[in-house]
Each structure stands twice: as C-alpha cells, then as structure tokens.
Structure 1
Amino acid sequence: MFRGFATISYFADDMTAAEAWYTELLGVPPYFRRDHDGAPAYLEYRIGDYQAELGLIDSRFAPHDVKNGPAGVIMNWHVDDLQGSLDRLIAMGATLIEGITPRGEGFVTASVTDPFGNVIGIMTNPHYLEVLAERGA
C-alpha cells in the first residue's frame, strides 16, 4: 500500500520567518511558492538524495488544531490508489482528519489519525513517480 515517503508538511504562524529560517538551514530557497493575500501560504523545498519534499504551510490552513497541542507533522506516503488506501485505513479504525483534497497539478492528499493518535498522510504525488522512474525502479 505505502510506496514511499512523498512530502512532509510543517506548519508555521509566521511564514516569512519560516521561509528565511528553512532557507538558511537547508541552503536552498523553496522551489515552489503559493501566496495568499500577498504573503506565502505554502512553500516547498526539495532536499536530500531523493529530492524529498518539505512543505511549509501557513498554520491557518492546517486541517487540525496546531495551537493547542503538538503542531503535528503530516508525513504523506505516496499511494497509487488514494481512495482505496483511505477506505482501508478507515476500515482498520483510523479516523478521518481531512478527506481527499486536490492540491494542484496532480497532487492530491488525505489524512487520518491512527487508533493511537498518530497522523498519517497519504497522497498521489507525480514528483514521487518521476523520481522513481528516473531511478529505473
């Protein structure tokens, strides 16, 4: 079911400060940016050997409360069948956080909490498939 790591998402209240901090930390600027009301709402970096995606999301767009408890990291696993994978997770006792949500250009996500309170993100991710194809796997 899980094909591999696709995108990890962190949340931040101050996206301008987060962009500066992560750009300095990673040594590269975000390759993708989506603004909302003139400020960054989503930033994405590709990092590491497999060009893994690190997404920074403005906290106001978080699918869960990030102010009263752990902000939560949504680590999205690439899956080939998003609806089937989501159905299976729910059938196994997971609780829906956010249903299937298009994010643009073939990127579609959903998230649940497992029976133990952990957030599991799943997604279809064209970038993951491109990297896989380049590696000949």
Structure 2
Amino acid sequence: MLRELATVSFYADDLAAAGRWYTELLGVEPYYSVPGYLEFRVGESEDELGIIDARYRRTPAPATPPDTPVYWDVDDLAATVARLLELGATAHEPLTERGDGEGFATASVVDPFGNVLGVMTNPHHRAMRAARVSRTAR
C-alpha cells in the first residue's frame, strides 16, 4: 500500500517567483527544472517538493485554500512559522499542541502562491531519523 511520500506538488501562477521564494525558504536551488515545473529535494530523506506552473492545473483553483496540508517536520516550529510569515506567507492554522504534551505540534501557512504549507514537530519522525543515521553510520 502506501510506503512513503514521493512528491508533493504545488501550483503557482508565477513559477519564477515561486522558485525564488522556495529557494530562499529552503536554502537550495531546485535540483530539477524544465519549462513549467521545478522540483526541490527537502531534508535528509530528500522528499520532493514540486512547483507546477498553474497553466497546467487540471481543475480550477479552489476559492479558499484546502484544509488538508502536507506537514513537513521541522526542528523549531515557532521559528519556522515566524520565518514563513516573514517571507510573505499568511497564517492558516495557528501553532497547535497535539497529543497531551508529547512533543507533537502543528501549524500551517498559505504561501504567496495560494498553497497550504504545513509544518510540525513530531518526536516519532525524530526517532526514525536518528535510527536511520545510526544504521548508516555503522
């Protein structure tokens, strides 16, 4: 069945501006670029974030951002949300603690291109990353 995240795709009316914005946010240039599409590799597992020129959208853009964000694990949730807002994103879901103080928390923003970008802290993901690093260091 589902095994792992492959690619998350966002749309942008101004692909060049979206490429610049995400390059600034992520600190890396897209690793793949063809007319109408950019793709970034994110994090240690190199998950893919694709940006598609909105001309290729198969259905009309929704009137409001969807309430089904993909959440990216981050080290410092409050600092990440602050940085996203500083770069021009708008608040979508405020920082919300989940799981009775176990270290799970989420937030989301709408990027300047109308896409919902979710961010979270997740101790389960940190444990999995630590185990991967431990296995590869042997």
TM-score (norm 1): 0.49
Q: Which has the higher contact order (CA 8 A, sep 6+)?
A: 1
- Which entry has the higher C-alpha Rg, 1 or 2? 2
Q: TM-score, normalised by structure 2?
A: 0.49
Task: Give 1 or 2: higher strand fraction.
Answer: 1
